[in-house]
Amino acid sequence: MRAAVFAAKIALPLLLLAGGGLHAEGWPMYGRDLKHSFSNPDSRITPLNVWALTEVWSHPTGDVVSASPAVVGSAVYVGSWDGYFYALDAQSGRQNWAFKVDC
């Protein structure tokens, strides 16, 4: 398996800066909501300031992450093709737990 890193360079700032940070509505499911809108109307990110996004943290995984993460409260939930589902601290990227999925 090739090494991969789930980088919080664009996805996480888009989610965390929306509407005031971690305690905003979040991104609790694929596509953000039941309509799969993939957008947050309360986001403070615009085409004029998107260039200023920087990597906040990254977390290594054993293979690629090909789906968008879910953000609920202060946790980021993401699955990887390495066979694990991860719960990460949204502020630091520290791994709270990892669950081996039966694929």
* Distance set, CA 56 to CA 1, 4, 33, 36, 100 (Å): 26, 17, 24, 25, 26
| pLDDT tens per residue across span 7-22 | 544 345 444 444 444 4
**Average model confidence (pLDDT) across the chain:** 81
Q: Which domains does the chain have, with CATH numbers?
A: 4-100 (2.40.10.480)
pLDDT reported for residue 37: 87
Percentage of the chain exceeding pLDDT 90? 50
pLDDT reported for residue 31: 86
Q: Is the pLDDT at 45 greater than 90, yes or no?
A: no
